[in-house]
Structure 1
Amino acid sequence: MNTFLFVILYCIHRFHGERSISAIYHLLKGKKSSQTIQDAKLYTLYPLFGIFPTVAREDLQEAVNYLLYHNFINQSEERYSVTEKGVNILNEWIKANPLPHSLNGWEYRDKWMIFWKRYTLITQTISNLIRGNGNFIPIQYDFEIQLFVKQFLKMWSKEELAQKLKVETELILKNQPQLQANLFVIQLSGYSTAGNTIQQAARKWNIDSIWASILFQACIHSILHTLKAEPSKFPVLSSICNDLISPMTQLTKTTQTTMQLIQKNYTIEEIAVIRNLKESTIEDHIVEITMNFPEFSIAPFINEEQVREIQEKMYHLRTKQLKKIKEAINKDDISYFQIRLVLSRMGDNVELTRTSKR
């Protein structure tokens, strides 16, 4: 079995038969819907959020069919669960190929690629300029990336930038596992040299190309995490991504706007009117804020007694499914929105008895 099959099996196992295959598809593509965002956090799948942005439904269905045929999963209507055989082989795979701790698709889903494109074009450009070659084919054609790099290069002399970039890159890569650092370096292009593709790099080290992609993304995620924590230690690298790693960038742009209004003490109803959006959309934004900002108070939207009742039903039923919890509570004064708020605040710390096995 290849890495992609194991990733699908892992997702099915984490969802515990409570989500459809479509949920996995949206998760891996990084769909920015309230349901997918909440699923990623609630089922501890945020590391995999958006790691396969180009995955096709056909590829996913083919993987599911394979897992069914080989009795690694069972199907019940549109839901799937992992068999004992599937659990055993999954555990063996996780033991041999643990997901890197630094992998965090949710936090760095779009940002890592922007950083990589900026970085690679900067290194290629500097490598050529210090050798007097101003006539080269850029490896990045994205206009926004090229514009950023042009502005960035004005901040330094090419000799100073080349030296600082070399020192900081070597230093930050020392914190990476050797294979991940190798995957980073081998893809760089410079004067009269072209970087490898991730597929070429995978063949060089005799690993699955999907696994190589995961390791590479984890490497960039780790670098961004370090730059966020220690910007003064890496002034050049940090200046490449300062706009990508501020706390507010964790939220979708529309949710950022809603949060600004909440901070001005507007109610859900008032924000909906101001923004000409449905109240349910504003509720989605509040759930997203709750997941990303632990200090955000949910007290204006739910009282402590309601929180306790939702938690009790969730643990009693051993489920994270909103519908089952809502039906068990059977009270008009507790809404789906409030249940989602409680689950979001508990986040991936929720581990029910039935879901404790991994």
Structure 2
Amino acid sequence: MREDFIFKFILSLFNEQTRVTAKQLSLIAGGKRTPSVLFNVEKNKLYTLFGLFPELSLREWESLTNTLLENELVDLNEGSLCQTAKGAKVKETFTDAFPVNNELDQLRYSATKPLFWHRLIFTTQVFSEYSNNNKHYLPYLSSLDDQQSLKKWLGEQGRSMDELTADWFKELRAFFQTLLPKEADFIAGHLTGYNVSGSTSRQMQETFGLSQKHYAVFIDQLSYKSARLDGDRYPLLKSLWETTHMDCDEGLSHSARISKHLLEEGKGIEEIARRRKLKANTIKEHILECVLITDWPYFKRYIRAQHFTACHELLETNPSVKYAEAKTLIDDLDFFTFRLVEIERMRRYG
């Protein structure tokens, strides 16, 4: 399983409707944030893949998908990869042994998950060193931004370090009890603290018999479990997650997040474009990014009601209609409106 994990993992993200090329997989796994890539994530429900393997090149994706084709685990349909019956059986066996989370929130948290993983280790180190009255240690995270963020977060808790330290380790123990022993041991093996140095990634891969890709996916899945913790039961862990998420621009590009805040203040597209010295179409792309990544509910303010209704009616009668045809049937229809309605219908009807 160590050798073929990546093939089975990619298969586990396919469903009967998946239609995707090797290049699209490469762009999705690399975390490309263009509206077209994000739309393909939504259309093919490849949320957990987004940004997960930025190091894989297009050539490597082509080699990977060729292997899937050669083993008849996927097939080609009009140039796009699709699941085969054999692939579906392999997927079922794999997910029984390695359940895979694949939800919209994983797209939203794509940047948050890896940073939270490192901040979890760093925060544990800070509390461990504090509890042993040791101020002379090498911080796990050397970035000044990370250190300042943690210092600010600690101050915002409004409690003494003694209380925070006790509660942090209490929450960690409770969290570990909700995990499988292998998962708890995996996290614990990375932790660093007073007179304790966590294992390196290579050491952990060897200890747990994981390939590099399996190791990356395991961390991703465990980080996502942290995102779903109950804030009442795990207030410190949840608070650290939420702070990290805000530091990651709520899952958006930095520019889109700025536009989002201005839109939520009631500013119009043209006004924001003038203020930020950007094109109106760029602000529309930011709206698409907000909708695709955060399920932003306010997009209807920025499309004409008659176009919204007409697009829904057209897609109801012809779900496969393309924009090129739609704009000949609906006067003055822009792509922005058409794509937003497509997204809404995909989420409503699958």
TM-score (norm 2): 0.82
Where does 1:80-95 land on structure 2 (aligned, <5 Å)?
80-95=81-96
Q: Could you tell me which residue of structure 2 aligns to residue 326 of structure 1?
A: 323
Q: Could you tell me which residue of structure 2 aligns to residue 342 of structure 1?
A: 341
Question: Match for 2:227 among 221, 224, 229?
Answer: 224
Q: Could you tell me which residue of structure 2 aligns to residue 240 of structure 1?
A: 240
Name the CA distance, whole Å, in 2 between partners of 1:184 and 1:104.
22
Q: What is the letter of the counterpart of residue 234 of structure 2?
A: F
Question: Residue deviations 1:317-354, cap 9 Å, x none?
Answer: 3xxxxxx5224433343332222101222344443xxx
Name the CA distance, whole Å, in 2 between partners of 1:44 and 1:250.
17
User: Are residues 346 and 132 of structure 1, via their aligned partners in 2, closer, same or farther at CA, if it must alter by over 3 Å?
Assistant: same
Q: Could you tell me which residue of structure 2 aligns to residue 286 of structure 1?
A: 287
Where does 1:115-154 land on structure 2 (aligned, <5 Å)?
115-151=116-152
Name the CA distance, whole Å, in 2 between partners of 1:108 and 1:268.
26
Q: Could you tell me which residue of structure 2 aligns to residue 63 of structure 1?
A: 64
Q: Could you tell me which residue of structure 2 aligns to residue 306 of structure 1?
A: 310
Name the CA distance, whole Å, in 1 between partners of 2:314 and 2:185.
48
User: Are residues 80 and 212 of structure 1, via their aligned partners in 2, closer, same or farther at CA, if it must alter by over 3 Å?
Assistant: same
217-226 or 144-153, larger mean C-alpha shift: 144-153
Question: Residue deviations 1:83-142, cap 9 Å, x none?
Answer: 343333233323433313679431221112222222322322332343344333333222
Name the CA distance, whole Å, in 1 between partners of 2:187 and 2:71.
36
Where does 1:1-358 land on structure 2 (aligned, <5 Å)?
2-10=4-12, 16-17=18-19, 19-75=20-76, 78-100=79-101, 104-151=105-152, 158-226=161-229, 229-230=230-231, 232-245=232-245, 249-291=250-292, 292-293=294-295, 295-298=297-300, 300-302=302-304, 303=306, 304-315=308-319, 317=320, 324-329=321-326, 330-331=328-329, 332-351=331-350
The question of whether the paired residues in 2 share the 8 Å contact of 1:50 and 1:105 is answered with: no
Q: What is the letter of the counterpart of residue 287 of structure 1?
A: L
The question of whether the paired residues in 2 share the 8 Å contact of 1:28 and 1:51 is answered with: yes
Name the CA distance, whole Å, in 2 between partners of 1:188 and 1:337.
46
The question of whether the paired residues in 2 share the 8 Å contact of 1:102 and 1:219 is answered with: no
User: Segments of 4+ in structure 1 off by > 6 A?
Assistant: none
Question: Residue deviations 1:130-155, cap 9 Å, x none?
Answer: 33443333332222223334455667
User: Are residues 204 and 148 of structure 1, via their aligned partners in 2, closer, same or farther at CA, if it must alter by over 3 Å?
Assistant: same
Q: What is the letter of the counterpart of residue 194 of structure 1?
A: S
Provide the alpha-carbon RMSD of the alignment. 3.2
User: Are residues 99 and 314 of structure 1, via their aligned partners in 2, closer, same or farther at CA, if it must alter by over 3 Å?
Assistant: farther
- Number of residue pairs matched by the alignment: 340
How far is 1:29 from its partner?
Answer: 2.0
Q: What stretches of structure 2 of length at least 5 have no aligned partner?
A: none
User: Are residues 64 and 181 of structure 1, via their aligned partners in 2, closer, same or farther at CA, if it must alter by over 3 Å?
Assistant: same
User: Are residues 2 and 199 of structure 1, via their aligned partners in 2, closer, same or farther at CA, if it must alter by over 3 Å?
Assistant: farther
How far is 1:239 from its partner?
Answer: 4.2
Q: What stretches of structure 1 of length at least 5 have no aligned partner?
A: 318-323, 352-358
Q: What is the letter of the counterpart of residue 301 of structure 1?
A: I
**Aligned-residue identity in percent:** 21
How far is 1:200 from its partner?
Answer: 3.1
Q: Could you tell me which residue of structure 2 aligns to residue 356 of structure 1?
A: none
How far is 1:11 from its partner?
Answer: 5.1
Q: What is the letter of the counterpart of residue 3 of structure 1?
A: F
> What secondary structure is seen at the aligned counterpart in 2 of 1:147?
helix
How far is 1:41 from its partner?
Answer: 2.3
